[in-house]
């Protein structure tokens, strides 16, 4: 049985993973666009951009929707990184 890149099962899994990765990139780009618009709106209206209560609400919301196999600890870590990347990306747009 083939175990390298010519194995059709491996190829199929890799193709599905690549498709999923593209969806993650598209979702992150869409998130960045929306957060940039929100930040601009908040700036115009004198509202603080950072809202720790909202971040905690979002984690609770996502953890309730999470059906696994991603653990809640993994979800919190992933979401913290998404927020960190979002903030860094928006800071570079100034």
Residue 55's CATH number: 1.20.59.10
- Among 18-22, 24-28, 55-59, the minimum mean pLDDT is found in 55-59
> Could you list the residue range(s) of the whole structural domain that residue 55 is in?
9-91
Total number of domains in the chain: 1
> Helix (H, G, I), strand (E, B), or coil: what is residue 45?
coil
Q: Report how far residue 40's alpha carbon sits from residue 59's, in angstroms, rounded to the nearest whole number.
A: 23
Predicted local distance difference test score (pLDDT) of residue 93 = 73
Q: Is residue 2 part of a domain?
A: no
Q: Is residue 4 part of a domain?
A: no
Instruction: Kindly report the average pLDDT of the chain as a whole number.
Output: 92
Q: Report how far residue 72's alpha carbon sits from residue 90's, in angstroms, rounded to the nearest whole number.
A: 27
Contact call for residues 59 and 79 (beta carbons, < 8 A): yes
Q: Is residue 1 part of a domain?
A: no
Q: Is residue 15 part of a domain?
A: yes
Q: Is residue 23 part of a domain?
A: yes
Q: Is residue 3 part of a domain?
A: no
Structural element, H or E, at residue 58: helix 52-65
């Amino acid at each position: 049985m083939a175990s390298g890149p010519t194995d059709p099962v491996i190829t199929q899994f890799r193709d599905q993973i690549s498709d999923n990765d593209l969806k993650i990139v598209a979702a992150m780009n869409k998130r960045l666009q929306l957060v940039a618009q929100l930040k601009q709106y908040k700036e115009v209206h004198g509202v603080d951009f950072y809202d720790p209560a909202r971040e905690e609400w979002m984690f609770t919301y996502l953890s309730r929707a999470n059906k696994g196999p991603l653990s809640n600890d993994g979800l919190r870590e992933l979401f913290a990184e998404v927020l960190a990347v979002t903030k860094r990306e928006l800071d570079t747009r100034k």
